[in-house]
Structure 1
Amino acid sequence: MKNNTVNNKTQAKGLKTLEGVYVPTLLTILGVIMYLRLGWIVGNVGLWGTLLIIALAHVITFSTSLSMSSMLTNIKIGAGGAYAIITRSLGMEMGGAIGIPLYLSQAISVAFYIAGFSEVWVTFFPEHPMYIVGIATWAVLTALSIASARLAFRVQYFILGAVALSIVSFLTGPSLNPGPMVLTGTMEDASFWATFAIFFPAVTGILTGATMSGDLEDPRRSIIQGTLAAVITGLVAYVLLAVWFARQAPGELLLADTLIILKLARVKVLIVAGIMGAVLSSALSTLVSAPRTLAALAENRIIPLSRIFSKKNSKGEPINAIVFSSVISLGVILMGSLDSLAQLLTMFFMTTYLMINLVVLIEQGTGIISFRPTMAMSIFVPIIGTIGCLLVMLLINPMFTGVTLAIVTGIYSLLKRKNLTSPWGDVRGSIFVAITEWAAQKIMRTPYHPRLWKPAVAVPVESPEDFRRISRFIRNLLYSSGRLYYMTVYPEAKMDEKRRQQIDEALEPLREEGLFVQKILVRSNEFRTMLVQALQCLENNFLPPNAVLLTVSEDAEKRVRMKELLEALRQIKISVMCLWLHPKYNLGSERIINIWLRDRSPNNDLAVLSAIKMVGNLGAELRLCRVVGHKSHIEKAEEELAKFIEEARLPGNTQIKVFTGDFYRHIEEERADLSIVGMPTKYEHMIRMIDLAPGSLLFVASGGLESLLA
C-alpha cells in the first residue's frame, strides 16, 4: 500500500514535457561532437557531404522517434522507457535481454562523460589533477541525482542557457575564411562512411527523456512531443552550424584544429562553458535515467537483488538503484581509460533503437487488431529505422555488432530458463501466427505429393486413461517429426476442468519431446457420427491428419461399434490403422517387427513406412514376411522382396521370410513383438487374426496419401 502511495505522489507531481524530456534530450544531442568534431567533419567531407551525413543520421533517429511515438499511443507505458516498450511487445525475456545491456551502457557512459568533462577542464586548468576533477564531478552529480530528478533536470536549464549562449557566440564571431565556402572535401583523413560513424553518436540521445517515463506527469504526451521537438531542434542546429563552419573557416584549418570553434567565437569563455555544460548535462541525464532502467528491471524480477533495487524512498526516487549506478560509474572512472568499450556501448544503444523499430514493424506488419495507435504511420517508417540501425551498427564496427548480438542472445537464453511470467500480453504469438498463416497459404496452394508424407495421426479415445495405454506406441510411431491429433467425443456432463487437466497431463510427455500435439474435443452423444464429421472438417484444414488410429477392444459391444466406424471411415480420404495390443505381452521386448506383405497390395507402402518409424525409434529388427501358394514361388518371392528392400532403402539388416500354406497358421506361429498387416476387407478376418496372434497387431488401410518410393 505504501508503494502505491509513493507512486501516486510521484505521478501527481510528475515532470513536465520541457524539463523531463525536451531539455535533457536536446542537451544530449547537442554534445561534444557539435563543438569538437562538426568543424572537422565539414573540413573532411565538405558542406554537401556534412549535410548528407546529418540528413541520413536524422532519418534513422527520426524514424526511431516516430516508431517509439506510435508505440506509446498504443500502450500504457510504465517505468523503464525503451525497456518497457520492448517488454510489453516482445515479452520480458527480450525486454531483459535489451534492458540489462542498456542499463550497463547508461551506467558506464556516465564515466565517459565525466572523463570528457575532466579532460576539457584540465585543458584550461592544467594545475588540477584529472582524477580529482573526475571524482569531484561524480560526487556533485551523484548528490544531484539522489536529491531528486526534478532538481537535477532544473539544473539543466542553466546548462541549456550556456549552450545557447555558446552557439550565439559562435554565430556572431569573426570569419577566418578569405575564400569561398567549403562545399566539398578531400576525405583524406577518413572516408564518407567512417566520417558518418564518427558523427552518428551525436544524435543517439533520443531515449534520454523516454527513460524517465515513470517520473513524467503524462508519459505518453511528454515523450512524443518532447522527443520529436528535441530531434527537430537538433537537426536545425546541426544544419545551421555546419553551414557556418563552411562559411567561417577554410577546409585546411577545419581539419587541422579540432578546437577551431574557439577561434571562431566572439567570446571564447562561452564556448568553454558550452562544451563543459554539454558534457556535464549528458552525464547528469544518464546518471538520473540509468537507475530508472535498473529499477524497472528489478520491479519485473528480471535481475538478482530485485527487492533491493526496486525500492523507492518517500519522494519516489529509486535510491538503491541510484547508489548502485553511481558506484559503477565511479569504478569505471577509477579504472582509467576504457576507450575500447566506447563503440560497444554505442552498439547497445543502437540495438535498443533497432528493437523499437522492429517492435512497431512486427505489430504493424502482422496486422493484429490490438495494434491501434492513435499516431498511425506508414510501415516504411519502422522498415527504414530497422534497416538503418542495422547498417549503422555494421558501419561502426562489424565485430562489435556480432559481440552485441551474441550478448543479447545469451541474456535472452538465460532469462528464458527462468520462466518469467508477464502481466501483459505480447506480440510473440502474433509473429508465429503470421508466419503460420503465410506458410499455410503457400502449402494450401501447393499440390500434395506423397513425398511430403509423414505420420500425422488422429487418435480417437474415450478417456485419458485409454490414451496412456497406447501413448508409448504413438510416441514411437510419430517421433520425431510426426503430428498427433488427440480426439475425443464426450457427452455434455463428462467434460469438466479436472478432465481437461487429465488430458493435458496425458499429452504432456509427448509435448516435452517436441511433438506436434493438438487436442480436438467434441461434445456430442453420437461418437461415431461426430468423429467422422470432425475428421471431414480436418480433411480441409491446414496440416490435416493423414491417418486415424483406432484401438481394438476385447469388449464385444465395442468391437461391433468399431466395425460400424470402419465402414463410416471409408467415405473419408484418410488412412486407417487399427491397433491390437496383446493383453498379456503388450509390445513385448520391442525388438522384432514383422510386416506381412501381399503382392501388389495398396496397403504395403503404409505398412512399411509405419514400420520404418517404429524400427528407427526402437532400434528393432525388421522382417518382411510373405505367404505364397506353392514352394516353387518361394525363390521368386525372395528375389522380389530383396529388390523391394533395395528400392525402398530399408535397413541393411532387414530379414526376408517367405512361407507357403495357410496365412492364418503362419500368423499364429510366427512370433513377433508387433506384426503389421494390411487391413482385411472383412472385419471378421481381422478379429480372427487377433484371436490367433501371439503378439500385438497393427492393421493398416492406405488412403492413397503415401508412397514408399517417393
Structure 2
Amino acid sequence: LTSPRKSIPLGTISAVIITALIYVSLIFVVSLIATPEEMTANYNLFIEKALYGPLVIAGLLGATLSSALGSFIGAPRIMLALAEKGLLPKSPKLAKLSTKGEPINAMYFTAIVVFIGISLRNLNTIAPILTMFFMITYAMINIVVLLEQSLGLPSYRPTLKVPLLVPALGAFGSIAIMFVINVIVALFSLIFIFVFYFYLVKLNLKSEVGDSRSGLFTALAEWATKKSSNLSPEKEVRSWRPNLLIPMQMPKEIRSAYKLIHSIVYPKGSVKILSLINENVQEQRNNEQFLKNAIKKYKEGYISASYAFVDGSEFNTSVKISMQSLNAAFFKPNVIFVSIDSANVQNAFYDQLRSDAEKNDFGVLMYIPFSTASLAIEKNITLWLTDITADWKETFNIGNNDLGTLLALLICKNWKGTIEAHIVNNDPGLSFSENDIEDFSTMVRFPKNTTINIMEGDLLENTKKYRSTDISIFSANNDMKTADMINLVQTSRISAVFCIDSQSENVLV
C-alpha cells in the first residue's frame, strides 16, 4: 500500500459496507424463494433453490477452505507470539521453531484443536463457542475506544473519527448478542476471559514497550480525582488510609521499622521516603542503593512505595517545605512516620518536626523501639487512650485518639492479633458505664476479642502495670515532648508508637 493510513480505513469501511449490502440482499432473496418454515428447517435451501446447485457448493467449499487455511496459518503464529512472551503454560515448548522457522509445536496443537472440533460433527455446537470470542474481541475494542474517546486523551487522535454513540452501541450490542445466541456459553466465555486475565496479572509480566493499562488507569484516576474535588474539596474521613511520609536521616531508621511500617500500610496504604542529599558522593550512592532495595522490598510485599532526595542544609526545613508542597496535591501523604533511636536522639529535631506536621495538617507516628525488645512475636497490641471528651457520643469526637485507634486496628488485622484498650480517665465530668464501654466498642468496631479497661491516675504509673505486650500505642497530647516519650518507653520497657492526630481521621465514622 502506498498510503496505509488512508488505504486501510477506506478498505475496512468499504468491506463492511459491501458485505452488509450482500447480506441484506440475500435476506430479500431468500424471503422471495422460500417460506419461513423452510428457512428454519432446511440448511440446504440455497443449494436446492439455485439454478445450478454444484456452483453454490463450490462457493461454500472455497469460502470454507480459504477461511480454514487463513486461520491455520494465523493461529499457530498467534500462539507463538503468546508463548514467546511467556503468556501460556509450557511456553518454551510452544515457542519452539522448526529448522525452516515454522512454529511446529504450535501447529501441532492447533491441528489437534481443529480435529477435536471436526469430530463433534455439528456446526451448531462449534459456532456459538467461536462466535463468543469474536464478540468479546469486538466488545473490548469498542470499550477501549469509548473510554479513550470519553477521557479526551491528547494521544488519542484517530484518523477515522466516529461519534461516541458508535462504540457505546457496539460494546452493548456485542455483549447482548452473546447472550441472545447462548446464555450458558456466553457466561462461561466471560468467566474464561476473566480467569485468563487474572492469570496473566499474576505472572507480573513486564513489557519493554510499556503497558497500555498504566496510561488508561492514570487517565481514569485523574478523571475520578477531578470529580471528587468538585463534589468535596476536602477529603472525606471515611476514605482515610495510611499514606506515610518517612523522613530518613540514616538507613537504620528504615531497617529497624520495616516490619512495623509494613503492618501499618498493608494492603492499601503507601510509603514515600524522603532523604537529604549527602555531600559525600560515596555516602550518597550508598543511600540511593539502600533506598532502591527498600522500595523494591516494599513493592514485593504489594505496597505502593517511592523515594525522593531533597537538597538543603537543614533537614527540618527541607521536610517542612516538602510537606507544604505536597499539600497542593490531591493524592498526598497524610502521616509523618519517624523511627527514633533512644540511644542517639535529637529531641529538638523531632519536636520541631511534630510542630511543622501539625501546622501542615499531617498526622504523626513516632516509633520508639525499646533497646532489647523487638516485634518478633507480633501478637498483642496495647492501646492507651487519654483525654476523651465528655460528649464523645454526641459529637463523634474522642479527642486526639483517632489515629492511635486506627493504627491499632490496622496492626491487629495484619498481625491477626488482639487489642487490649486502656482508657485513662481523669475527667470528673466523664464516666464510663458498662453500656458506655459497649457503645464505644461498637462505634469503633473493635474486633470481638478486644478488652477495654477504664482506669484513673498517671499514665506512666499505669503503663508499669502492663508490660506483657508486643507494642504499645499512645495518643500523645500537646504537653508530651519527645523526651517524655523516650522516658515512658524506657520505664515501661516496651516498644511504643506515639500518635498525633491531624484533621483527616475519625475512627467513629
TM-score computed with the length of structure 1 as normaliser: 0.59
Q: Confirm or deny: 8 A CA contact 2:388 2:425 kept in the other structure.
A: no
Residues 130-209 of structure 1 correspond to what in structure 2 (within 5 A)? none
In structure 1, what is the Cα distance between the partners aligned to 2:273 and 2:334? 14
Q: Confirm or deny: 8 A CA contact 1:677 1:697 kept in the other structure.
A: no
- The equivalent of 1:382 in structure 2 is 167
In structure 2, what is the Cα distance between the partners aligned to 1:491 and 1:577? 25
Q: Does 1:242 align with 2:38?
A: no
Structure 2 counterpart SS, 1:700: strand
Q: Confirm or deny: 8 A CA contact 1:489 1:522 kept in the other structure.
A: yes
In structure 2, what is the Cα distance between the partners aligned to 1:298 and 1:610? 46
Q: Deviations over 1:327-348 (max 9, x none)?
A: 5434544564464233112212
What is the aligned counterpart of 2:321 among 518, 533, 543? 533
* Inter-CA distance 464–335: structure 2 relative to 1 (3 Å threshold): same
Output the amino acid matched with 2:436.
K
Structure 1 counterpart SS, 2:432: helix
Structure 2 counterpart SS, 1:639: coil
What is the CA-CA distance between 1:402 and the residue it aligns to?
A: 0.9
Q: Does 1:361 align with 2:146?
A: yes
What is the CA-CA distance between 1:581 and the residue it aligns to?
A: 1.4
Q: Deviations over 1:102-157 (max 9, x none)?
A: xxxxxxxxxxxxxxxxxxxxxxxxxxxxxxxxxxxxxxxxxxxxxxxxxxxxxxxx
Residues 21-420 of structure 1 correspond to what in structure 2 (within 5 A)? 224-247=9-32, 259-262=44-47, 265-303=50-88, 304=90, 306=92, 311=97, 321-322=106-107, 325-326=110-111, 328-330=113-115, 332-333=117-118, 336-337=121-122, 339-420=124-205
Q: Confirm or deny: 8 A CA contact 1:453 1:706 kept in the other structure.
A: yes
In structure 2, what is the Cα distance between the partners aligned to 1:372 and 1:265? 48
Q: Does 1:460 align with 2:259?
A: no
In structure 1, what is the Cα distance between the partners aligned to 2:72 and 2:375? 68
Q: Does 1:610 align with 2:407?
A: yes
What is the CA-CA distance between 1:593 and the residue it aligns to?
A: 1.4
- The equivalent of 1:475 in structure 2 is 262
Output the amino acid matched with 1:392.
I
Q: Does 1:703 align with 2:502?
A: yes
- The equivalent of 1:166 in structure 2 is none
Q: Deviations over 1:234-281 (max 9, x none)?
A: 222233333344455666776776545456544444334334433333
Show structure 1 runs of 5+ residues with no match. 1-16, 18-216
Residues 627-706 of structure 1 correspond to what in structure 2 (within 5 A)? 628=426, 639=432, 643-644=436-437, 646-649=439-442, 650=446, 653-656=450-453, 658-660=455-457, 664-667=460-463, 671=467, 673=469, 674=472, 676-681=474-479, 683=481, 685-686=484-485, 688-690=487-489, 692-706=491-505
Larger gyration radius, structure 1 or structure 2: 1
Q: Confirm or deny: 8 A CA contact 2:9 2:160 kept in the other structure.
A: no
What is the CA-CA distance between 1:403 and the residue it aligns to?
A: 1.1
Deviates more, 1:675-684 or 1:456-465: 675-684
- The equivalent of 1:595 in structure 2 is 384
Q: Which has the higher contact order (CA 8 A, sep 6+)?
A: 1
* RMSD across aligned positions (CA): 3.8
Q: Confirm or deny: 8 A CA contact 1:344 1:400 kept in the other structure.
A: yes
* Inter-CA distance 576–222: structure 2 relative to 1 (3 Å threshold): same
Q: Deviations over 1:9-42 (max 9, x none)?
A: xxxxxxxx8xxxxxxxxxxxxxxxxxxxxxxxxx
Output the amino acid matched with 1:505.
N
In structure 1, what is the Cα distance between the partners aligned to 2:155 and 2:283? 32
What is the CA-CA distance between 1:531 and the residue it aligns to?
A: 0.5
In structure 2, what is the Cα distance between the partners aligned to 1:352 and 1:499? 48
Q: Does 1:542 align with 2:339?
A: no
Q: Confirm or deny: 8 A CA contact 1:575 1:701 kept in the other structure.
A: yes
Q: Confirm or deny: 8 A CA contact 2:408 2:473 kept in the other structure.
A: no
What is the CA-CA distance between 1:628 and the residue it aligns to?
A: 4.6
* Inter-CA distance 219–400: structure 2 relative to 1 (3 Å threshold): farther
* Inter-CA distance 341–495: structure 2 relative to 1 (3 Å threshold): farther
* Inter-CA distance 353–555: structure 2 relative to 1 (3 Å threshold): same
In structure 1, what is the Cα distance between the partners aligned to 2:116 and 2:403? 69
What is the CA-CA distance between 1:398 and the residue it aligns to?
A: 1.2
In structure 1, what is the Cα distance between the partners aligned to 2:327 and 2:105? 60
In structure 1, what is the Cα distance between the partners aligned to 2:98 and 2:3? 20
* Inter-CA distance 439–640: structure 2 relative to 1 (3 Å threshold): farther
In structure 1, what is the Cα distance between the partners aligned to 2:39 and 2:449? 79
Structure 1 counterpart SS, 2:114: helix
In structure 2, what is the Cα distance between the partners aligned to 1:690 and 1:305? 56
- The equivalent of 2:394 in structure 1 is none
Q: Confirm or deny: 8 A CA contact 2:240 2:505 kept in the other structure.
A: yes
Q: Confirm or deny: 8 A CA contact 1:483 1:515 kept in the other structure.
A: yes
* Inter-CA distance 655–431: structure 2 relative to 1 (3 Å threshold): same
Structure 1 counterpart SS, 2:210: coil
* Inter-CA distance 668–494: structure 2 relative to 1 (3 Å threshold): farther
In structure 1, what is the Cα distance between the partners aligned to 2:464 and 2:48? 106
In structure 2, what is the Cα distance between the partners aligned to 1:514 and 1:543? 18
In structure 1, what is the Cα distance between the partners aligned to 2:127 and 2:369? 68
- The equivalent of 2:393 in structure 1 is none
In structure 1, what is the Cα distance between the partners aligned to 2:8 and 2:119? 35
* Inter-CA distance 518–340: structure 2 relative to 1 (3 Å threshold): same
Structure 2 counterpart SS, 1:421: coil
Output the amino acid matched with 2:406.
L
In structure 1, what is the Cα distance between the partners aligned to 2:94 and 2:336? 57
Output the amino acid matched with 2:453.
I
In structure 2, what is the Cα distance between the partners aligned to 1:576 and 1:643? 29
In structure 1, what is the Cα distance between the partners aligned to 2:256 and 2:166? 56
Q: Confirm or deny: 8 A CA contact 1:624 1:641 kept in the other structure.
A: no
- The equivalent of 1:429 in structure 2 is 214
